[in-house]
Amino acid sequence: MNKINPLYLILLMFTFVYISFEILSQTKENFIEKSNEYNSVKQKAKEFKELNNSWANKNRTIRTINQITNSPKFRKHKILKVETQKNIKLKIESMDSKVLNDFLNRVLNKQLIIDKLELQKTYIALEIGYK
């Protein structure tokens, strides 16, 4: 039986060690990449939760609508407000298009979830959701 040359064994061991270190470095890079992705997703989830809490806050929505409707500019006009379990229905009627425009601008500039919007020359009807 022939003997195995020790140089072949040493070369084989170095090859295994080299391949092991290459696989380890690739795994390490992959782990760092996945860790960075996880941190970015975690940060985006926190931002989403904060935005969801600020936009879907029922008390803040009601308070905002009350501030708009109790404004001296809109008190003189006919405003119908109905609060349901899921949303607030608003309807303002006026012959003055400037008042309607100002009302719509104020509502659209606030952080509100508008489910339905109906515009006519003499009135604006809105449904503002809580979630």
Q: What is the pLDDT of residues 104-119, one digit of tens each?
A: 999 999 988 899 999 9
Q: Is the pLDDT of residue 77 over 90?
A: no
Does the CA dihedral 17-23-26-30 come out positive or negative? negative
Cβ atoms of 92 and 74 closer than 8 Å: yes
Give the pLDDT confidence score for residue 116 in this predicted structure. 93
For the stretch 13-54, pLDDT in tens is 999 999 999 999 999 999 999 999 999 999 999 999 988 887
* 63 vs 23: CA distance, rounded Å: 59
Residue 58 has pLDDT above 90, yes or no: no
Backbone angles phi, psi at 122, to 5 degrees: -110, -5
pLDDT at 131 > cutoff 90:
no
Q: Each residue of 9-44: b (16+ CB within 10 Å) or e?
A: eeeeeeeeeeeeeeeeeeeeeeeeeeeeeeeeeeee
Contact between 56 and 113 under an 8 Å Cβ cutoff? The reply is yes
pLDDT surpassing 70 at residue 3: yes
**In this model, does residue 1 exceed pLDDT 60?**
no
- Statement: 58-129 belongs to CATH 1.10.760: no
Does residue 31 contact residue 24 with C-beta atoms inside 8 Å? no
Q: What is the domain partition of the chain in residue ranges?
A: 1-55, 58-129
Whether the full predicted model's pTM is greater than 0.85, yes or no, is: no
Q: What is the pLDDT of residue 44?
A: 97
Percent of the chain clearing pLDDT 90 (strictly above): 61
